[in-house]
Amino acid sequence: MQLTIIIPTLNERTGLPAIVAAAQALRPQEILVVDGGSTDGTREWIQSQAGLRLVDSERGRGPQLNAGARSALGDVLLFLHADCLPSPDTAAAIISVLQNAKSAGGCFSVRFAERRPWSLGLVARVINWHSRAFRYATGDQAIFVRRTIFDAAGGFPDWPLFEDVEFVRRLNQKGRFVVLRSSVTLSARRWLARGVWRTSLLMLALYAGYRIGVPASRLKDWYDDVR
C-alpha cells in the first residue's frame, strides 16, 4: 500500500511544521499540502520544504481535500488537519485495517494536546464513544480511505460544514468503516477560544441540525471558524 497524506491549510504557518514533521516520520509516499489562499507565509514555507508538494485550491475544506485527492499518487489517502498530530503508529494502524478487503477506511480516536481544563478529557471521551457506537467521524479524527473507495463515494461534498460527516456516511455504504482506539492528538484551540462547554453545546446543536436535514449553508451561519 502506498500512502498519500493530504493536509488542507489556510493560514497555518505557526503550527504546520510540527504536523508536517510528524507526518514525514510516517514515511508516506508523498505529503500534499493543499492551500486555500494563505496570507501568513504558509505557502512560502511549504515551497521551501523538501518532500512537500504544494497544491493550490479554491478555499473550503471539501474543495481542498478533493483537490488533494485528485493530485494524489497513493492508493491510500489520509486526510490530516493542520492542527492534528499523528502518532508514530498511524501508518501501521492504517495498513492493519486495510489488510481486510472488506474495510473501506476508518479514522482514529482523539485526545487533546492541552491537559486543562479537565473538561477537555471528558469531551474527548464522548467524541470517541460516539464515533465507535455510530461509526461516525469528523475530519479532526484523521479519516483514511482506499483511493478506489474515495472515488466510488464521490469524494467530499462541497459543503461549508459537515462535509466530513457526509463523506463518512457514504463510506459506511461502501464497506466497513473502522474507528481505531489508537489516537491522534488534536489542538483544543476551537474549544478554548469559545469555552469548552459552550463549544460542546454548539457542536451538539449543529449535529442535531444536520441529522434533521438543516442545510449545511444554514448551519454555517451558526458557526464562525476559529483559526
pTM recorded for the entire structure? 0.93
Q: Which three cell numbers stand for residue 47?
A: 515551497
Distance of CA 28 to the CA centre of its chain: 17
The pLDDT assigned to 227 comes to 37
Which domains, ranges and CATH numbers included, belong to the chain?
3-188 (3.90.550.10)
For 156, the 3-state DSSP assignment is coil
What is the residue whose three cell numbers read 492493519?
A: 96
pLDDT number for residue 160: 79
Residues of the chain with pLDDT under 70: 224-227
Q: In 10 A of CB 192, how many CB atoms?
A: 16
C-alpha grid cell, residue 38: 494563505
**In the sheet that 76-79 helps form, which strands lie side by side, from edge to edge?**
52-56, 30-35, 3-9, 76-79, 144-146, 103-112, 176-186, 84-85
Spatial distance between the Cα atoms of 50 and 71, rounded to a whole number of angstroms = 18
Residue 184 has a pLDDT of 96
Q: Which residue, 76, 79, 71, is CA-closest to 55?
A: 71
